[in-house]
Structure 1
Amino acid sequence: MSGSVMLRRRFLAATAGLAAAVTLAACGGGGGGGTDSSAEPAGSPAPAARPWSFTDDRGKKIELDKTPTRIVAQVGAAAALWDFGVRPIGVFGPHKLQDGSKDPQVGNVDITKVTGLGNVWDEFNVEQYISLQPELLVSSMYENGTLWYVPEKSKDTIEQVAPTAGVMLTGKTATEVIGKYEELATSLGADLAGVPEAKARMEAATKELAGFKDLKILMMSGGADQMWVVNPPEYADLRHLVDNGLDIVVPEKVDEGGFFQTLSWENADTYDADVILYDTRTQALKPEEMMKKPTFAELPAVKAGQLYPWRAEAPFSYQGYADFLEELVANLKKASKLP
């Protein structure tokens, strides 16, 4: 495995609640939580008699005799599809917190109505997956051709069970990713009744972003011993923000892999910013934990109370992005240019 791939996965692991992925150690194939949905799909669109086809972001054309209804999806993909009216029967990836509540990454998915095949990195219960008799697996991709959260050790077996579809997140804008999920959901026969209203909300919030062009914004994620300054071009959500008027710090010395610059907490003041947006994902440090780092607590934006959440796992749906952008706009309206 190349150094750039390892670094990229290490960062994504540390900031997405994938503690086991830091070393990419094998954790076994134990199953996740959830209910047994092996009988019937939970609210999936009715099957169509005509042949079905879809070309994913790998350029792979999937062709089936009929529209698949028994769909298993990585949590990010499941969250997007759910908002578009598609109801997966199983999910894999972080969907349940230690207290049994939903992980934010799974969005509006009702985790009591899906089967959990794994909740952490490298955990995918292949036997349970087979028992679901899936007709399609859908996953996001950060690296071309690599389905996120599909373990390397069992990917060949998983690929043999049912066709797989990948949606690329890196190098695309949020609207492009959302459009791809909309295309997939439409092909699956989903009811898109709520799409126009959600799309209008997203567009309205997007237009407001230009009003904050004078604010210098730092996007970051915190770990125990270091912080990461994220690199906007590598993130679909940040590309959307930049393309629509926000001035986001671009790190000068991006680490190999392109996603971020790693800084020690002692160097938290490397970049000036009027506003800091912090990663809200499970494994990232919470504000109260970061405030214990003296150099961070003394940052002008932090002292001014201009520290706001970055919903880095917002579902790639119009509804998901409307919620994300409306919250961001409301917070930025409270902020001001610092001396």
Structure 2
Amino acid sequence: MKTFLTRRGARRILGPLLTVLLAGGLVTGCSSGSSSAGSSPAGASAGSAAAPVEWTWTDATGTTVTLPQRPERVAGYADYAIGMFAYGLQPAAVFGRVDVATDPRFAGYDLSSTAIVGTSYGQIDLEALAAAEPDLIVTGIYPTDRAGTLDTTAPYYAFADLEQQAQLAKIAPIVAIKVGGDGRAVIESLTGLATALGADPDRVAAAKADFDAAAADLTAAAGQADLEVTQMYADPDGIYVVKPADEPETQLYRSLGVTYTDLHPDGPYYWDIFSWENVGQMMTGDILLPNVEGFQAEELMAQPTFAASPALVAGQVNTWNGAALDYASQAVQMGKLAEILRSSRNVTGT
């Protein structure tokens, strides 16, 4: 849901379902070199007076970035910047698919010293970004198939095209995080990069503890009732049901016991796509989680072929905004899903 990008061929529909976001060093065998002492964040936090030490990071694409010292000013796409904030870092600049200042996922984080340089997908103010003087730019890259293949000839996630990507690379080196498949691996990758950038180890440890507790609670909630969850995006063309094995967030929650609608597990990558004429095939879920950027309950009820959905009739529809893939964000997200499961009932009789 980073998380989330729809895949209708080459078309991408933005939304927080898949979310969130990231893969770099730990998942792909990437490594970070030593960095300057202290816990200087990506743009703010106190550091040590020790002499700078060369900083190296190899990202998901195999690209190695080497800098004279650890980056102190980091810019990033919103989904990844949230993870930095969560670990005590202060990004120098952020660009997102919506206005970051009104993105509820940033609630509680201080944006006063962070430049907002993009408020819709692929639209980045290059002059404003350059003025923020980033040492590093962080974004993501999504696999093109279930095997995890990365197409490095295409623009990275969040960039409009290769021309824009080249312009960004002139401002600062870019590292891309792989966002696909194993949810825990993606979280560990973002955490590894954040740690290499000087994240507060105490905040990381506390977030991990909250994550572990929330994961245990989600497993308990999933075991209390026999419920099927349909995570989806809907628009005038039809309904796109997330393939739980392909989206990191749903893969993680399924590993914790949540049952998702998965009618064709060996079918096309990432989405099962249903036109409004054939949506009756996928009305098996007890709970609907429509992506925040698509149709919600009112619009779904207005579709004659879907109005009889048991979950829709029962009012078990919850707008879903994919969380960033860091320990802190996912602890909160799992708590939300556990609450939804506990407040719902089986309405399909399956």
On whether the aligned pair clears a TM of 0.5, the verdict is yes
1:310 is paired with a residue whose SS is coil
Secondary structure at 1:270 match in 2: helix
Given the alignment, which residue of 245, 256, 269 partners 2:257? 245
Q: Distance in 1 between matches of 2:209 and 2:265?
A: 38
Equivalence map 1:222-301=2 (5 Å): 222-252=234-264, 258-281=269-292, 283-301=293-311
2:94 paired residue among 91, 95, 98: 91
Number of residues of Structure 1 aligned to a counterpart in Structure 2: 305
**1:139 corresponds to:** 139
After superposition, the Cα gap between the structure-2 partners of 1:56 and 1:319, relative to the gap in structure 1 and judged at 3 Å, is same
Cα distance in structure 2, aligned partners of 1:45 and 1:276 = 46
Distance in 2, matches of 1:287 and 1:15, equals: 17
User: Are 1:169 and 2:172 matched, yes or no?
Assistant: no
Q: Residue 255 of structure 1 contacts residue 262 of structure 1 at CA under 8 Å; is this kept in 2? A: no
- Go from structure 1 to structure 2 and tell me whether the alpha carbon gap of 1:272 and 1:121 turns closer, same or farther (over 3 Å shift): closer
- 1:144-195 Cα offsets, whole Å, 9 max, x none, are 3342112322211211221111111113x22211111111111111213233
Residue 233 of structure 1 contacts residue 239 of structure 1 at CA under 8 Å; is this kept in 2? yes
Q: In angstroms, what is the RMSD of aligned CA positions? A: 2.8
Q: Is the 8 A contact 2:243 2:262 kept in 1?
A: yes
Change (3 A) 1:102 1:247: same
Superposed CA offset, 1:109-156 (max 9, x none): 444432222222331222222222221000122243342112322211
CA deviations on 1:188-220 (whole Å, 9 max, x unpaired) are 112132333332222222223444253222211
Secondary structure of the corresponding residue to residue 193 of structure 1? helix
User: In the TM superposition, what is the alpha-carbon distance from 1:265 to its structure 2 partner?
Assistant: 2.6
Counterpart of 1:85 in structure 2: which amino acid?
G
Distance of aligned partners of 1:77 and 1:335 in 2 relative to their CA distance in 1, 3 Å threshold: same
Q: Which amino acid aligns with 1:156?
A: A
Query: Which of 191, 196, 204 pairs up with 2:205?
Result: 196
Any gaps of 5 or more consecutive residues in structure 1? 18-40
Q: Is the 8 A contact 2:229 2:289 kept in 1?
A: no
Paired residue secondary structure (2:229): strand
CA contact 2:94–2:117 (8 Å) conserved in 1: yes
Matching residue of 1:326: 335
Separation in 1, partners of 2:97, 2:204: 26
2:166 paired with 1:156: yes
Query: Which residue is 1:311 aligned to?
Result: 321
Aligned to 1:103: 103
Q: 1:334 and 1:221 mapped to 2: Cα distance? A: 22
Gaps of 5+ in 2: 1-5, 18-41, 144-149
2:34 corresponds in structure 1 to none
Deviation at 1:77, TM superposition (A): 0.9
Task: Calculate the TM-score normalised by the size of structure 2.
Answer: 0.78
Distance 2:324 2:69 in 1: 27
8 Å contact from structure 1 (residues 277, 310) kept in 2: no
Deviation readout 1:237-271 (Å, 9 max, x if unpaired): 01101112122121429885x12122123433212
- Say whether the 8 Å CA contact 1:84–1:185 is kept in structure 2: yes
Say whether 1:215 aligns with 2:227.
yes
1:89 partner letter:
A
8 Å CA contact 1:227–1:268 kept in 2: the answer is: yes
Pair 1:51–1:178, CA change in 2 (3 A): same
Q: Distance in 1 between matches of 2:169 and 2:108?
A: 27
Secondary structure, in 3 states, of the residue corresponding to 2:159?
coil
Structure 2 counterpart of 1:93, one-letter code: G
Change (3 A) 1:163 1:196: same
3-state SS of paired residue (1:221): strand
**Corresponding position of 2:25:** none
**2:344 is aligned with 1:335:** yes
SS in 2 for 1:180: helix
Say if 1:201 and 1:322, in contact at 8 Å, map to a contact too.
yes
- SS, match of residue 318 in structure 2: strand
8 Å contact kept, 1:279–1:310:
yes
Kindly state the Cα deviation for residue 105 of structure 1 after the two structures are TM-superposed. Answer: 5.4
Distance apart, 1:221 and its partner CA? 1.2
CA separation of 1:104/1:13 partners in 2, compared to 1, >3 Å: closer, same or farther? farther
Partner SS, residue 175 of structure 2: strand
Equivalent pair of 2:44/2:72 in contact (CA under 8 Å): no
